[in-house]
Amino acid sequence: NGWCPGNADNSKWIEIDLMENKFIGAIITMGCKDDSDDEYVKTFRIKYRVDGSAWADYTDDDGSVMIFEGNQNKFQSVLNDFKENIYARHVRLYPLTHNDYATLRWELLGCTKCE
């Protein structure tokens, strides 16, 4: 069905460990797979880090934390391109607003060596 933090606490996050540093250019999000639940993430933020370094917020051109537009329903996937590739091993997604529970399926798009 997807990942769900179990309550409306906005401090919850889900992390992907890519096992090595990679270039990441986009993220795809989807809502709950279960037909009976109308659960999805409307907005979220991203943090990332290169193996062994401190966490960094993904920011906009002004240096403010970037708030990504997520889903408007549970059925359609939403693609968010990063304005510039990030280089990271670990990526965290923090749901900010959601419909019912913050149920989420997600995927990162990237490469080991972008050419």
* Per-residue pLDDT tens over the stretch 8-19: 667 799 999 999
What single-letter amino acid sits at 4? Answer: C
In the chain, domain spans: 14-111
Instruction: Tell me the mean pLDDT in the region 55-65.
Output: 95
* DSSP type of residue 15: E
**Residue 6 to residue 3: CA distance in whole angstroms:** 9
pTM of the model: 0.91
Q: d(Cα 29, Cα 18) in Å, to the nearest integer?
A: 17
Q: How confident is the model at residue 35 (pLDDT cuts 50, 70, 90)?
A: confident
Fold of 14-111: Jelly Rolls (2.60.120)
| Of residues 115 and 17, more confidently modeled | 17
pLDDT given for residue 25 in this prediction: 96
For the segment 71-89, what is each residue's pLDDT rounded down to a tens digit? 999 999 999 999 989 999 9
Rounded to an integer, the average pLDDT of 91-102 is: 94
Q: What is the pLDDT of residue 52?
A: 83
Query: Per-residue pLDDT for 1 more than 90?
Result: no
**How many angstroms separate the CA atoms of 82 and 58, rounded?**
9
- How sure is the predictor about 37, in pLDDT bands with cuts at 50, 70 and 90? confident
**Confidence at residue 78, expressed as pLDDT on a 0 to 100 scale:** 98
